[in-house]
Structure 1
């Protein structure tokens, strides 16, 4: 089995002024991507798929031997949803796996990118954690405390929503912008009051002595979105995109019936014990949901409005423009 190697990119869409250089680097790096899913006949088209290296639903495609007739899947490992968005914008991948906030930044920046598929909600995949011995036991206790999250991501959205439910705003806490690994270390060392993380970093923090203060249940979806450019959607790879959505929809229940096998496969790739991968896998959704019925657009509009209020995007947008429901017919009935 061929290796899938991580590809590191700049983190923020706002720096896309160097897109030409970024595109060249990405296209050169694609030579180290995994190639899977080649049909018995000669592949007619290559579909370049950017996936989240330590989360999401695509890292185990080689284990499941996912195949799409007439399509060669070329997997490109990326670290964050922001990296995936930049790769899409640079034309280095055809479809990418992101969190539910990246489409907002794409639309706000005028990028011709659409959401073509989404998992069902997985609300426990994002959480705010504190140390086991912490005196903080409810969200209201976070007032004035140092709270870490990644600006403009699902973790930021959970912080905004959680605070709002108890009458607090971001100005009522001390925001600390740290990546996941640094966040876990800062939390266990008592340098911050709380950490906002996504799976599997939630489970890693719990294994190091943290406890969940609040997760996304009843607050946020924490779904995983799959995005493609409008040129790809309308171009010769459209049928390959449809095949990808169909294969992904079949893969989600496969995950739930192969949890132990999946954990053993991904643990060395994630660099964590299998039991951590297993715990993180259990928060994952078992199916895809339609993206064209207006429900996700209404939910995403709430995120966009909150981010506009926080000045994370320059102006209000109409989130309905982010979704292309033409591949909903590929889902299981």
Structure 2
């Protein structure tokens, strides 16, 4: 079957929806820096300031951590003002960055790569993984009823849901590589990975396979298992969770210091989530997300224990492999994964956990 066209260097960006927690003009004004804006930018290799100046503000798109900070009682402990934006995922975060309407975003490993490829310099300032990434995968490969697919090699010649620029899309390419296949051996069907799009595409036989994550795995099997729906474990590490910022944000000494403080609080918040599963289920999954307690328990059990490493060497090496895989598939240049990370923040999260132990 013919291959899909390659992803162009300049991807088409969706219009920024009205998802910000405050009006866009207010956000733009807030990102201007105010008292925290220094006349001379902070050099990329300069030490991070130890103290956040009075009047500093960060606009943060990290809804899950916001709830974790609320539930753990940490949300009022910042030494600076935090404006929360209801933004998540790579496309929305990158669009908000381009609008100058966001300082910090929470994503997986693919958005920083695509932001760089499309001319938006960004830096990763925090990284979280799972201590048992294979035993607690983020995704499984959903299999449509009646396809007869029982192994990854069985994907040959099949239609697979594919979302370029997102973690699910990169996972599909990794799965094909592990199975000894290329995109020319399958038919990649470009579909957005939001909501129930993938489960519905599987159930309606629009695709034969699709990566499913979180509670969608449980719901898909519960709803369509009697018809023959199944999932496959892929055995590939798929657990990165990052905080990233525009590179220009870190040129402001005040914001760079505030980001450091936020990273420390972020690490503590996710340790709290792991240590208080019942409070997290009730406060986030049930109250905030509207899920059942059973679904919340399923997600907590699937998440496993978080790992916030103080050394990013292995993470950068894995990220480099992802970059090279995507570059070969899309025709974009191979970039240096290390350049995506600001190593001044490398130990901030781990050090915060040690101090709080």
Q: TM-score range by the shorter chain?
A: 0.7 to 0.9
CA contact (8 A) 2:88 2:106 kept: no
1:191 to 192, 206, 218: 206
Partner of 2:57: 46
Contact in 1 for aligned 2:89/2:106 (Cα 8 Å)? no
Q: Which residue of the other structure, out of 267, 272, 287, is the alignment partner of 2:307?
A: 287
Q: How far apart, CA to CA, are the structure 1 residues paired with 2:142 and 2:65?
A: 24
2:112 to 88, 99, 103: 103
How much does 1:26 deviate? Answer: 6.5
Q: Distance between the aligned counterparts of 2:328 and 2:105, measured in 1?
A: 27
Contact 1:13 1:85 in 2 (8 A): no
Equivalent positions of 1:152-171 (< 5 A) are 152-171=165-184
Higher relative contact order (CA 8 A, sep 6+): 2
Output one character per residue of 1:77-98: Cα deviation in whole Å (capped at 9) or x when no partner. Answer: 2242221122123221111001
Do the aligned partners of 2:312 and 2:346 also contact (CA within 8 Å) in 1?
no
Task: Return 5+ residue gaps in structure 1 as ranges.
Answer: 1-11, 32-41
String of CA shifts for 1:195-231, please: whole Å, max 9, x gaps. 212324333323433532124x3x2333111101222
Aligned with 1:177 (options 174, 180, 190): 190
Task: Please name the residue that 1:88 is paired with.
Answer: 97
Question: Which shows bigger deviation, 277-286 or 255-264?
Answer: 277-286
Contact 1:49 1:74 in 2 (8 A): yes
Shift of 1:257: 2.0
Q: Which runs of 5+ in 2 are unaligned?
A: 1-8, 29-52
| Kept in 2: contact 1:26–1:87 (CA 8 A) | no
Indicate the residue corresponding to 1:62 in structure 2: 70
1:27 to 17, 24, 27: 24
The 3-state SS of whatever aligns with 1:296 is helix
Q: Does 1:297 align with 2:310?
A: no
TM-score by length of 1: 0.80
Given that residues 127 and 158 in structure 1 are in contact (C-alpha distance below 8 angstroms), is that contact kept between their aligned partners in structure 2? no
Residue 185 (structure 1) shift: 1.2
Match of 1:34 in 2: none
Paired with 1:296 and 1:129, the residues of 2 have a C-alpha distance of 27
- The 5 Å alignment of 1:219-298 reads 219-235=236-252, 236-265=254-283, 266-284=285-303, 285-290=305-310, 293-298=312-317
Which residue does 2:44 correspond to in 1?
none
Structure whose alpha-carbon radius of gyration is higher: 2
Q: Between Structure 1 and Structure 2, how many residues are aligned?
A: 303
Shift of 1:76: 1.4
Determine the structure 2 residue equivalent to 1:317. 335
Distance 1:22 1:64 in 2: 25
In structure 1, what is the Cα distance between the partners aligned to 2:116 and 2:190? 24
Contact in 2 for aligned 1:149/1:197 (Cα 8 Å): no
SS in 2 for 1:85: helix
Give the CA deviation at 1:186: 1.8
Whole-angstrom CA distance in 2 between matches of 1:26 and 1:310: 38
Cα offset, 1:57, TM superposition = 4.5
